[in-house]
Amino acid sequence: MNAIKKVRKYLLANPKSESSRILGDLVAALGEEKPYQLADLYSLDYDTFELAIALLEDWRLDRYYAARLKLFDTAHLEVLKKGSNS
């Protein structure tokens, strides 16, 4: 199970905990591409902190693949344009 799914499961299982608030804020900041106070992560217990780090790793990897897909789409469109101009 990837970290994004684990975080969702954690949030649903612990909706009123402080750690869920912290993870939820991290998810919101990532989704909105807004700043986040990393110091908040230090108040998490070790396992939840590791979950937050795994979330960051997955998020970065997902963004990398999304950027690659955009690049391939752009390159594909350029090839199509050149082909239709011939």
Residue 3 to residues 15, 36, 84, Cα–Cα distance (Å): 17, 18, 43
- List the chain domain ranges: 3-61
Give the model's pLDDT for residue 73.
65
Give the model's pLDDT for residue 48.
97
Give the model's pLDDT for residue 6.
93
For residue 15, pLDDT over 60 is answered with: yes
Give the model's pLDDT for residue 22.
96
